[in-house]
Amino acid sequence: MKRVLKWGSTVVTVILGIALIVTVYTAVTSRIKGVPEIGGLQMYEVLSGSMEPGIHTGSVIFDKPGVDAKTLRVGDVITFKAIDNPKMLITHRIVQVKTQDGAPAFQTKGDANDAADSGLVPAANVVAQYKNITIPYVGYYLNFMKSKMGIILLIIVPGALLILTTMISLFREIMKIEKDKKPDLVNASSDATSENATKA
C-alpha cells in the first residue's frame, strides 16, 4: 500500500511539474511575443467554427510566422489581421490570389462558410501560414489561462501544490532516515551496558 501511495505521489508531482512548466512557458512567451511559440511555430486558439470540420472550435493550431506572401497559393490556410479590425485575427483558406496596388492580395473563405469573406486580404495583413498541425480542445485551456482566474488556478495553485508535495516527500525521507538510525543507537547502548556488566 505504501509503495502504491509513493508511486501515486510521484506521478502527481511529475504531472503538476510538467503542467506548471508548460503553462508558465506559454504565459511568458505570450506576454513577450504576444503569441505563444514552440519550436518556431506560433500557437493560435480557434474560437469559432468557420473552418470546421478540418479545424474544430476550441482547437489550437500551429502557424509558421514570417511567411512570404508571394509563395502563398490557392488552398493555403493563413492567419491574418481583419481588414476592419487589425486586433482581430482570422484563420481562413485562400480561394483566390489577386493583385492589389502591385502586391499580392487574397480572397479568403472559411471552409464552413457559404460565402467568401468580404474584401481582399492585403499581403501586409498576413500574419502566418497554417502548418496542418492541430490539437483539439487546448484552445479553451489557453484562452482560460489568459484570464485572472486562469492564472490563479493554472499557475499559482499547481505551484503551491508542487511545493507542498515536495515538502511532504522530503519530510517522509527525513523521518525514514531518523527511524533507521534508532535501532543502531539502541544496539550501541545495549553493547555498552553488556560490556560494563562484564567488567563489573
Q: What distance in Å separates the CA atoms of residue 30 and residue 49, rounded to the nearest whole number?
A: 23
Whose cell is 470540420? That residue is 53
The active-site residue, picked from 9, 30, 48, 169, is: 48
Query: Counting beta carbons within 10 angstroms of the beta carbon of residue 167, is it exposed (0 to 12), middle (13 to 18) or buried (19 or more)?
Result: exposed
Does residue 48 carry a catalytic annotation?
A: yes
Taking each continuous run of H as one helix and of E as one strand, the counts in the chain are 4, 8
Q: What distance in Å separates the CA atoms of residue 152 and residue 172, rounded to the nearest whole number?
A: 29
Q: What distance in Å separates the CA atoms of residue 51 and residue 108, rounded to the nearest whole number?
A: 11
Q: Which residues are catalytic?
A: 48
